[in-house]
Amino acid sequence: MGMIAEKSADEWYNSLPKTGGVYRLINGTMSDRSRNERVSAVIALGESDDPRAVRPLMDCCSDTDALIRRHATEALIKLRSGRAVRVLVERLKDKNEELVTRERAAAALAAVRSYSAIEGLRDLYADEDEDPKLRSFVAGELHRVRIR
């Protein structure tokens, strides 16, 4: 087996050289930075179209700062990575999360369009105890991707 096949995804990611602009942005998402620096870095990672941005944005989706979570979720819409489905479903289903962040998570899942992403949307839509506004938004996202 090749060296990459023998390593887990985390080991492989951590072994990559940490140079270049995207890594400066990734470092900018760290919690020891100012909130404005972090938000700017998260937005820029979403605009980067770089697959290396997915993991740090996924991490930011679990941040303690609601604004960071919202911008990270928004950034993941642009990257359309199936690797982010699990954390996006978590954001979508978290009833303590802000509605706008949950809607952005639904939009990101619709953008990914994988089976698991669509299942996350369908599950939320089927939950009659869920926020009616969110269920309506999710219905629109499902319709937009023409999945019934």
Domain boundaries, the chain: 3-144
Is pLDDT larger for residue 120 or for residue 44? 120
Span 106-133, average pLDDT? 96
Q: What's the pLDDT at 34?
A: 85
Q: How confident is the model at residue 24 (pLDDT cuts 50, 70, 90)?
A: confident
Res. 57: pLDDT tops 50: yes
Span 38-45, average pLDDT? 89
Span 55-68, average pLDDT? 95
Report yes or no: 57 and 44 within 8 Å, Cβ to Cβ. no
Task: DSSP letter for 30, please.
Answer: S
Among the four given CATH numbers 3.40.120.10, 3.30.300.30, 1.10.1060.10, 1.25.10.10, the one describing domain 3-144: 1.25.10.10
Three-class DSSP category at 64: coil
Report yes or no: 7 and 15 within 8 Å, Cβ to Cβ. yes
Q: What's the pLDDT at 62?
A: 95
Query: Distance between CA atoms of 28 and 68, rounded to whole angstroms?
Result: 12
Q: How confident is the model at residue 137 (pLDDT cuts 50, 70, 90)?
A: very high
Res. 5: pLDDT tops 50: no
pTM: 0.81
